[in-house]
Every structure is written in C-alpha cells, then in structure tokens.
Structure 1
C-alpha cells in the first residue's frame, strides 16, 4: 500500500525530499536575517525586517524599554542580551513554516561576560546574576509571525534551566543519605 506524502512536510526547510516553496524559502531567509541582527545590530537591516508594530511576548523579564513595540523594543532586547553575554550566536537547526507562522529550532551559544538582570512587571530589578565567564549552548524554539515581508510577532520556548545549570547559577545539592531518627 503506497502512502501519500504529508502535505505539511513540504514546509520543513532542509528536511524533506520535496523542495521548499518560495514562501518557505523567503521565511527562512527572513529568520536568518533576524538572528544575524540579534548577533550584530544594524539599523538599516532592523528597519527592513522588523515591523513597526512588532511585539515580543517574551519581553516581560526584560528591561522596560524591551517591552515596547517595533525596532526600539528589539534593540533594547539586543542591548540587554549583549550586556550579559559575549559571542552570542544562534545556529538554526530546523525551520518549519505554515501560513504566516514560522518556527525555528535553534541552538543559542555564548559566554556569560556581564551581569544578567531580570525585571519585575513594574520594571524594577528582580534579580541580577554576576558574570561567571562560562560558556553555554542551549536549545530554543522561536515562533515568528510574518506579514508583508517583516517580522511582526515573536514567542519562544527556551531551555533556561539548562542554561542556568551550564552557567553555574545554581549551587549543586545532593540528596541526603537518610534522615536521623527522631
């Protein structure tokens, strides 16, 4: 019995025998440009690929300027990340596109070279972790909505615990061998 190909399989760039559609190729190129922008900022590139009404659903623990829409918010996220990390790089492991949504499975890597600061909803500093000098590499999934050839919305799933463990942000603990009789 022959099996029909999955119609959604053609939307996975680089993972199928069927060549990706032109729309998927354009989405792949746009995401590649977006991740390169987060590695090395360029104002002209930001204007070309980020919509004025762009929103980042992941900005709540970031500094208040990162919570604003558009290029200014993305630049504030860039500045926040680059204050804490050197050599930031995203390797794009897989990209899947369907409709106006594109998902990138990535590996983010870098070195923790400055304080990592998180913020509360009211914009106050919630925590600050001093630089460890350690390197990390963690998996992330980034969801982008694209309209009119620009990025307009971002959501993500990240391995923050794995990153924190690689950077030594948690003290190692061992389970107790037993409890004393009481």
Structure 2
C-alpha cells in the first residue's frame, strides 16, 4: 500500500469512527497535539474529542459521508456531505428537530500514521439556515439575483 493510500485509509477510519459515535479509538487516529484550523478552535486531542462529542450530543445521527477523497504525500483532501437531525441544543440554538444536510471540504495532514492537522471549508450558512428555518442573508445570492435581472 502506498503512503497516499495508507493516509486515505486513516481518514476513512476517522470518518467511520465518528459516524459510529464510538470515540474510543480517537488516540489511535489523531495526534495528541492535533491542530484543528477551524475558526475559533484550539489544538489538542482533548479539544477535538469534546468537539466531536458535542456534535454527536446535539445530532446523534450526525454523519459524514465521503463523496471524493484524494491523497498526495502527507495530505488528504475530502469532499463530503454532512447530515443529521438536531435533537438536543447546539450551543445557544435550542433543539429544533430539524434535519440538516450540507457540503464540506476537509483537508488533513498526516504525520506518523495519525491525523496531525485539519482545515475545513463548509456551507455553514446552509447549516444555519436549516437549523433556524430562516433563509440566511447572502451577499453572493443577492449578487446572482442582480445578474438575472
């Protein structure tokens, strides 16, 4: 197995672990100083454990579905769908029972056979809109509408 294939297998294992809700293998997959570059997120395995547990608490059926995965060297890129149903509070958003489904792009760096760093770009505006059932204001949508006129 090539390094790229081995690295993609680690990312797949991480997604499978999260989807199952069993985080007991987290230390086998994620480095102790795991650097999550998501805005506002701190580094460390305990931080990511709390983050993942919080997501599963708010959305017990939260699922990450890999649509495309590409690996090169120590990097793995994933296009995925994120879906689930909010049955408990999510931060300050009270439980809505709403189903969410949006696209995300994950980028991982692998070191010593573990996830070392993570970057993410996701459709958080759609996520917010689906939770609150209020269309999110979007400068880009407004711009597109001006082009149609």
TM, length-normalised to structure 1: 0.68
- Relative contact order (alpha carbons < 8 A, sep ≥ 6): 1 or 2 greater? 2
Distance in structure 2 (CA, Å) of the matches to 1:91 and 1:99: 23
- The answer to whether the Cα contact below 8 Å between 1:129 and 1:169 also exists between their aligned partners in 2 is no
Distance in structure 2 (CA, Å) of the matches to 1:143 and 1:49: 15
- The answer to whether the Cα contact below 8 Å between 1:143 and 1:154 also exists between their aligned partners in 2 is yes
Question: What count of residue pairs does the alignment treat as equivalent?
Answer: 136
Q: What does the per-residue CA deviation read over 1:142-179, in whole Å, with 9 as the maximum and x for residues that have no partner?
A: 11100111000011001111112222353689xxxxxx
More helix by share: 2
Are residues 1:100 and 2:81 paired? Answer: no
Distance in structure 1 (CA, Å) of the matches to 2:136 and 2:121: 25
Aligned equivalent of 2:61? 87
Aligned equivalent of 1:170? 134
Distance in structure 1 (CA, Å) of the matches to 2:2 and 2:101: 31
Aligned equivalent of 1:41? 22
Aligned equivalent of 1:115? 89
Indicate the larger mover: 22-31 or 103-112.
22-31
Distance in structure 2 (CA, Å) of the matches to 1:74 and 1:38: 11
Aligned equivalent of 1:77? 51
Point out where structure 2 has 5 or more consecutive residues left out of the alignment.
138-149
Point out where structure 1 has 5 or more consecutive residues left out of the alignment.
1-20, 118-127, 174-182
Structure with bigger gyration radius: 1
- The answer to whether the Cα contact below 8 Å between 2:3 and 2:73 also exists between their aligned partners in 1 is no
TM, length-normalised to structure 2: 0.82
- The answer to whether the Cα contact below 8 Å between 2:128 and 2:136 also exists between their aligned partners in 1 is no
Q: What does the per-residue CA deviation read over 1:78-105, in whole Å, with 9 as the maximum and x for residues that have no partner?
A: 1221232120111100011222111110
Distance in structure 2 (CA, Å) of the matches to 1:78 and 1:59: 15
